[in-house]
Amino acid sequence: MPGLVAALLPLAVAIAVNPIPIIAVILILQSPRARASGSAFVGAWILALVALGGVAIALANHTDLYGSGSASPVARVIRGVVGVLLLYLAVRKWLGRPRAGDPVRTPAWMTRLATTTPGRSFGLGAGLAAGNPKNIALTLAAAAAIVEEGLPLTTEGIALLVFVALATLGVAIPYLVLLVLGGRADQVLSSWGDWLTRHNAAVLAIVLTIIGVLLIAGAIRG
């Protein structure tokens, strides 16, 4: 199990630190129905990741694609491919980051979040969680790591929930700040949102590079 935790942690962190969903939930938490819309967004995010991971694990168990109890070639290939994909995305993000003095434009869909509803927030949370190709690749890699351990089905489910909980921290922390600070959270969340809007490409590039290298190294070691 320690080896499984070590395999899942970087994958979950790569999902959790994606600045775009964090910025989105911060903007939602500044809307008139902040608590209801924030709850809908975070809840949809969790449900979408659980569904995505559950389908991947069920297919793996049904087809015996990864094998169990050993580092299967398929699982190693998945880790390697995901690692290369993350390095590619990291380079694109780094090259496309705003330079000092460049204006930072907020996408139009983000500006509309200030007046969003719980229903739209739910759809956005599900879409950002399960509709992002990076999240799909990372969740598939997590499913491969879980099935590879040869665990009982119940334990696989617990491992998936742990992975989802870690992957949800990025969008959950701003929501928890609102619950704890109430009306005083606006200033804190605004400063976080402004910083992430300016530096999101650089932050994501650095994190993706570190995790991509770890996955490739893991695939080589087997």
Write out the DSSP string of the chain. -HHHHHHHHHHHHHHHT-HHHHHHHHHHTTSTTHHHHHHHHHHHHHHHHHHHHHHHHHHHHHHT-S-SSS--HHHHHHHHHHHHHHHHHHHHHHHTSPPTT---PPPHHHHGGGG--HHHHHHHHHHHHHS-HHHHHHHHHHHHHHHHTT--HHHHHHHHHHHHHHHHHHHHHHHHHHHHHGGGHHHHHHHHHHHHHHHHHHHHHHHHHHHHHHHHHHHHH-
Place of tokens 């087809």: 63
Is the full-model pTM beyond 0.85? no
Task: Band the pLDDT of 1: cuts 50, 70, 90.
Answer: low
Residue 112 has pLDDT above 60, yes or no: yes
Residue 105 has pLDDT above 80, yes or no: no
Residue 69 has pLDDT above 50, yes or no: no
Average pLDDT, the chain: 83
Lowest mean pLDDT among 10-14, 19-23, 58-62: 58-62
The confidence score (pLDDT) of residue 133 equals: 85
C-alpha 169/C-alpha 180 separation (Å) is: 16
Lowest mean pLDDT among 16-25, 111-120, 172-181, 196-205: 196-205
Residue 29 has pLDDT above 70, yes or no: yes
Task: Band the pLDDT of 72: cuts 50, 70, 90.
Answer: low
The confidence score (pLDDT) of residue 134 equals: 84
Dihedral (CA of 21, 22, 24, 25) sign:
positive
Q: Express each pLDDT in 118-153 by its tens digit.
A: 999 999 999 999 988 888 988 988 888 888 888 888
Residue 68 has pLDDT above 60, yes or no: no
Q: Express each pLDDT in 178-213 by its tens digit.
A: 888 877 777 788 888 777 877 778 888 888 888 888
Lowest mean pLDDT among 103-112, 122-131, 213-222: 103-112
Of all residues in the chain, the percent with pLDDT exceeding 90 is 27
C-alpha 216/C-alpha 1 separation (Å) is: 21
Residue 102 has pLDDT above 70, yes or no: no
Higher-confidence residue: 67 or 94?
Answer: 94
